[in-house]
Structure 1
Amino acid sequence: MRGSVFALLLCALAACGRDPAPAPEADRSYRDTSVIISSSSRFDAARFAGTWQRQATFGAAYADPPCREVRFVDVPGGMEVETCRGAAPKLYSQSSYGRLQAPGAEPLWVLWVDDDFRTAVVGTPSGRLGWILDRGSLPPDRARAAREVLAFNGYDLSQLRPVAP
């Protein structure tokens, strides 16, 4: 009896030293949530509307070609967002500049958009999602600016992955 209790205690102590299992991708945060995140005060739904190409993303959920495109449609009171080709669009309300919220969905925040609305960064306060979007081919200067915005908002750039064309 005493030997089995001793073995159980040894197993428990050994388990304490192990790294926890990685969080499932849907629950994983790619940003330091202690860093304050901010949305863009320059957000304009009419100018933001249209089809964007994901250039980079965190995690694998949106890295496949069928999910390269994301479409935003300006509708009264918010935006319809289609995150993958053929997926049902979700209706998001706009609570503040660049802050989009849908029932039962992760809020989408537009963190940055360039002056001509060609390149944008979209993320979530939880850090489970982050995208660099562009309307064409992303030039190096805007790619660098987008990465700086992600880093400023606490995202771990080492986890940022390009999206396959």
Structure 2
Amino acid sequence: MLKHVIGAGMGLLMLAGCGGGPTSREGSFRDTGQPLSVTTRGNGMQDMGGPWFVRGYFPGDGGLAMVTLLPDLRGQQAVEFRNEACLLSGDCETDTEIWMAKPLGQNRWQLNREGEAPRQMWVVWVDDDFRTAAIGTPDGSYGWILDRRPEGGADRLRAAAEILNFNGYDTSRIKVR
């Protein structure tokens, strides 16, 4: 099962039009009857702030390349999503979206963007040094494995996948980069 998560690389993204932000185009990726945990490690946006590379994702978020937590964007917390789509010709496009982040508790936020349905984002797990994180949502509409670096850290990526699995996610569906 974890061999699907670690050890596979992704070539060119062959996406013509990818949406931004936390969305699911294929329903829930987790058993919502199972409780979703949230880490108590760290100080929320302060420790999680900054850019994260999307190293693992579920179908529908294939163009999501970076997630940046912004602890202070004009006096508010926010999350920036950067999507990239590359065609076989090598032409690539980048799109960014900012979602305002209303704290719901430690390491949990409600994400809001005008014209979009609100979403929740939970830090399910993060390693001691805040290098790798597992991100989920109670409704299971998306989940990510984030890392501060675009490569390496296989042991931490494996741990993040195991935590998502423990929290009811179908990790056989994770795509990795």
SS of equivalent residue, structure 1 residue 84: strand
1:80 matched residue in structure 2: 78
Residue deviations 1:5-56 (CA, integer Å, cap 9, x gap)? xxxxxxxxxxxxxxxxxxxx53510101111101111142111100000001
Instruction: From 131, 141, 148, give the equivalent of 2:155.
Output: 141
2:175 matched residue in structure 1: 161
1:55 matched residue in structure 2: 55
Please say if residues 25 and 60 of structure 2, whose CA atoms lie closer than 8 Å, have aligned partners that are also in contact.
no
SS of equivalent residue, structure 1 residue 38: coil
* In 2, Cα distance between equivalents of 1:80 and 1:43: 18
Indicate yes or no: 2:129 matched with 1:123: no
- Can you give the 5+ residue segments of structure 1 that lack an aligned partner in the other structure? 1-24
1:16 matched residue in structure 2: none
Structure (1/2) with the larger strand percentage: 2
Q: Percent identity?
A: 36
Residue deviations 1:68-101 (CA, integer Å, cap 9, x gap)? 1111110288621112253231111111111111
Structure (1/2) with the larger helix percentage: 1
Matches within 5 A, 1:1-165: 25-26=24-25, 28-44=27-43, 45-61=45-61, 63-64=62-63, 67-75=64-72, 79-85=77-83, 86-103=95-112, 104-136=117-149, 137-163=151-177
Q: How many residues align?
A: 136
Q: Which amino acid aligns with 1:93?
A: K
Provide the aligned C-alpha RMSD in A. 1.8
Moved over 4 A (4+): none
How does the TM-score come out when normalised to structure 2? 0.71
Q: Which structure has more RCO (C-alpha within 8 Å, separation ≥ 6)? A: 2
Q: Which amino acid aligns with 1:49?
A: G
How does the TM-score come out when normalised to structure 1? 0.76
Find the structure with the greater CA-based Rg: 1
